[in-house]
Amino acid sequence: MKFSKLSQLFLVSAIGLLVASLLTACQLVTIDYVFLATTAGVGTSANGSIETFAVDSQSGALRTGQPAIDAGGIAPVAMVASAKYTDLYVANQGDSTVVHFAISSNGVLAKKDTVTLSATPSALAENAAGTFLYVVSNSGTLTEFALSSSGTIGAVTQQESLVVPGFTGDVILPSGVTVLPNNNAVYVSAYDQSAYNPGGSTTSTANPGWVFGFAVGSDGTLTPSQGSPYLSGVKPSALASDPTNRFIYVTDFASNELIGYSISSGSTLNFMVNGPFKTGNEPSAVAIDPRGIYIYVTNNLDSTVSGYEITLSTGTPTATVSSSGNAGNTTDTEPVALAIDPALGRFVYTANYLGNTISGFQLTPTTGVLKLAQASPYPSGAKPTAIAIVPHGNHAIQSITP
């Protein structure tokens, strides 16, 4: 059978359209950029580095984004992205610095400014208004820095010593810091090394684990919350606040527990009466999905992620979310940091310190079940320690109202 030239042209055009349609259907769409801090340097640099990955909208799979850049300091330990997703702050333990990077629309990081602290930083957080940066240091202090409209780190506006009443000489080591989404309070998890020091001697009879709470005034003034500091197990390792400003959750590394608090009178904490809640072994990080419905905890020793469903009326993690697939919620070796994508709230990622990888999971919105993302885990530089995620493009941010 012979075709006319017109028929041949039509056929070629049809095939071209079909191929184009298939390519379009298979096109990868980036919804987030994942930033990973590692201890590996760029080239011969002794500093750490920041690697960039792009998140696929359908599978949550990661692919390499922009080339790795210098972290601006030695041994990065914590990172936080600004609420507007235009700035990234990195805390470096090796030289006691905090470095500010601007984030472009295509995920490129540009170093802007650096502050040097008098003590080693361990964690940091920015308030949702983008006006203050909070840094906790191993000197047992919480430092509040002013931020300019462009994200530049300004002067110290206030510094608070973390002191356990009756044990003013004890060594307090902070492990995490979080700010309520309404900017009205900031909380610090910490443990008393004078009372809990595995492998070493102790000199104090104080309770080891604590959460320090501070009410935040409109001008940034910090005032200790009523009853602060609050008992918090043995060795608090991380903490997170829910998006409705009603609950705080703390992981206890030593007791394998998740401790929940309700918030009253703006910043006062009260134990959830049916807690604490069991985790895996050595919980190291905690994150809450953008809707405030599910909590996820990394278990350092088990190399797993635990999931919990929140009872919205009380904040209680009432049901353990089951895993999906043979691999379940297994990460690579020693997960130390955890983040949930802000564009859709559908993907969860862990930084695996000894695995030298990122593990990725798909989050089922209706059940909270996690399923390993395609090709997970993803190789990274040596000993990743911190992870932060920003949305890309015009993708809607998940509603925070449960």
**pLDDT tens digits for 52-98?**
999 999 999 999 999 999 999 999 999 999 999 999 999 999 999 99
Give the tens place of pLDDT for each residue, 39-55. Answer: 988 888 899 999 999 99
Give the domains, in start order, of the chain with CATH numbers. 29-391 (2.130.10.10)
pLDDT above 70 coverage of the chain, percent = 89
Residue 235 near residue 279 (C-beta atoms within 8 A): no
pLDDT for the residue numbered 44: 82
pLDDT, mean of residues 201-215: 97
Model confidence, pTM: 0.91
Q: Output the pLDDT for position 318.
A: 85
Strands 209-216 and 109-116: unpaired
pLDDT in tens, 220-272: 999 999 999 999 999 999 999 999 999 999 999 999 999 999 999 999 999 99
pLDDT value of residue 325: 53
Q: What is the pLDDT of residues 352-395, one digit of tens each?
A: 999 999 999 999 999 999 999 999 999 999 999 999 999 997 65
Determine contact, residues 234/209, Cβ cutoff 8 Å. Answer: yes
**Residue-wise pLDDT tens digits, 117-135:** 999 999 999 999 999 999 9
Q: What is the pLDDT of residue 131?
A: 98
**Dist. CA 368–CA 386, nearest whole Å:** 23
User: With contact defined as beta carbons under 8 Å apart, do 11 and 326 qualify?
Assistant: no
Task: Report the Cα 324 to chain-centroid distance in Å.
Answer: 23
What is the rounded CA–CA span in Å between residue 322 and residue 8?
56
**Between 85 and 19, where is the model more confident?**
85
DSSP secondary structure string, 33-99?
EEEEEESPPSTT-SS-EEEEEEEETTT--EEE-SPPEE-SSSSEEEEEE-TTSSEEEEEETTTTEEE
Q: How far apart (Å, rounded) are the C-alpha atoms in residues 368 and 307?
A: 7
